[in-house]
């Protein structure tokens, strides 16, 4: 009973931690499982880290890469990492 109360209290106090520690089930026909997170299959090996653990970019072979210090847009364009998340779209698709 005490253990049940502790789990309930933890769930109330730390909802994000409890939710994150739960494995999720993905729709594997359309999604890739990072373990505790699902991402669209098209995000796999696209040179952008989408999984919190980076699993979607491990064991990938890339046909195209960007110079060190650059960020690769989802379109494959290379832009300086300094411009990533600066509120302006340097990538033609706005993926930066």
Query: Which residues sit at the interface with Ca ion, rule CB under 5 A?
Result: 43, 46, 48, 50, 56
d(CA 75, CA 73): 5
Go through 63-73 and write b for each residue having 16 or more CB atoms within 10 A of its CB, e for each that does not. Answer: eeebeeebbbb
Q: For residues 7 and 49, which CB has a smaller minimum distance to Ca ion in the complex?
A: 49
Q: For residues 27 and 58, which CB has a smaller minimum distance to Ca ion in the complex?
A: 58
Q: What's the closest the beta carbon of residue 56 comes to Ca ion, in angstroms?
A: 4
Q: What's the closest the beta carbon of residue 60 comes to Ca ion, in angstroms?
A: 8
Q: What's the closest the beta carbon of residue 52 comes to Ca ion, in angstroms?
A: 12
d(CA 60, CA 69): 20
d(CA 88, CA 17): 32
Q: For residues 50 and 90, which CB has a smaller minimum distance to Ca ion in the complex?
A: 50
């Amino acid at each position: 009973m005490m253990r049940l109360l502790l789990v309930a209290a933890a769930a109330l106090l730390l909802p994000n931690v409890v939710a994150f520690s739960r494995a999720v089930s993905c729709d594997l026909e359309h999604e890739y499982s990072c373990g505790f997170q699902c991402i669209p299959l098209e995000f796999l090996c696209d040179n952008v880290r989408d999984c919190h653990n980076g699993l979607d970019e491990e064991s990938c072979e890339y046909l195209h890469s960007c110079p060190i210090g650059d960020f690769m847009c989802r379109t494959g364009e290379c832009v300086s990492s300094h411009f990533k998340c600066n509120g302006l779209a340097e990538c033609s698709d706005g993926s930066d």
